[in-house]
Amino acid sequence: MTIIASTTTEFIQDEVETFQRDGYLVVRGLIPLDCVDAMKRITQRDLAAHQGDIEYEAELSYPGAPESLDAEGGRTARRLRQAISRDPMFAKLVKEPFLLMRLQQLLGPHIVMPLIHHNCIMTKQPRFSSDTGWHQDTRYWNFTTGDLVNIWIALGEENPHNGCLRVLRGTHFEPAQRERLDDALFLRTDLEQNQPLLQRAIPVKLKAGDVLFFHARCFHSATRNFSTESKQSVVFTFRSLENRPIPGTKSAQWPELLLS
């Protein structure tokens, strides 16, 4: 399909400074709605057929998830992995100037898209979705530095009722102290010293076509979906060419896309 580019292809300087300060930034209506509709159709198709590489809620055992794949709701999808291989439009989208040029402003001239991290369609279904604790995406990633940028494309409305992302502003500057995390590297909500930070949580409310740019070290979380409608988002990760995966780690196992 043809993707009609946004009327602007770059951040203004204030937006770049906001991202650098806060670790995240929302661009409203960046993705054309016909592109959003196409991504929704692909998502519905692959959810209905359980097509391709799928992560199920029951596999992670987060709070609210079914107890097993055989329990009621056990085949509730959490995310459709390998989004880039599900339809050519995804590869076309990430090369569009209104995305690529903004990523270059944040990461530098040469942009690489890892295919092993994110590269998915996140789905949050009614009834059997789960809570995701506060975490930095770099907890299981292994690159020269933690300076990677995620884009989160909303395919519909996202709000606190249906489990929108929540962020902790400014937490991207350095890795969290290990003693403030639990065994799974989630920020401990029972620890007194974390309470002032947790009280600053900001829900990121989005509408279809909005894009959240956020640093991979920015702490974020989400509740389960309390609504009666499915929530869906497309999520990709990007790095600079110089920020290479560390050999021998999971981050180095798959090919990557060189975008610029």
The pLDDT score that the predictor gives to residue 176 is: 85
Query: Rounded to an integer, what distance in angstroms lies between the CA atom of residue 231 and that of residue 193?
Result: 33
Query: Rounded to an integer, what distance in angstroms lies between the CA atom of residue 83 and that of residue 53?
Result: 9
Question: Which residues on adjacent β-strands are paired with residue 251?
Answer: none
Measured between alpha carbons, how far is residue 9 from residues 28, 96, 123, 152 in Å? 13, 9, 28, 17
Tell me if 125 is assigned to some domain. yes
The pLDDT score that the predictor gives to residue 150 is: 98
Length of the chain: 260
Return the SS3 of 62.
coil
**Residue 6 confidence (pLDDT) above 90:** no
Q: What is the pLDDT of residues 198-209, one digit of tens each?
A: 999 999 999 999
Tell me if 10 is assigned to some domain. no
The pLDDT score that the predictor gives to residue 7 is: 65
Q: What is the pLDDT of residues 11-38, one digit of tens each?
A: 999 999 999 999 999 999 999 999 999 9
The pLDDT score that the predictor gives to residue 74 is: 85
Tell me if 77 is assigned to some domain. yes
**Residue 212 confidence (pLDDT) above 70:** yes
Q: Counting beta carbons within 10 angstroms of the beta carbon of residue 40, is it exposed (0 to 12), middle (13 to 18) or buried (19 or more)?
A: middle
Q: What is the pLDDT of residues 119-156, one digit of tens each?
A: 999 999 998 999 999 999 999 899 999 999 999 999 99
CATH number at residue 112: 2.60.120.620
Q: Whole-model pTM above 0.85?
A: yes
Q: What is the pLDDT of residues 51-78, one digit of tens each?
A: 999 999 999 989 989 999 989 988 999 9
Q: How far does CA 218 lie from the centroid of its chain?
A: 11
Listed in sequence order, the residues at least 6 apart from 155 whose beta carbon sits closer than 8 Å to its beta carbon are 36, 39, 40, 43, 208, 232, 233, 234
Q: How many domains does the chain have?
A: 1
Residue with tokens 């903004």: 102
Residue 199 identity: Q
Return the SS3 of 112.
strand
List the domain range (segments joined by +) for residue 91: 18-258
**Contact present, 18 and 170 (Cβ < 8 Å):** no
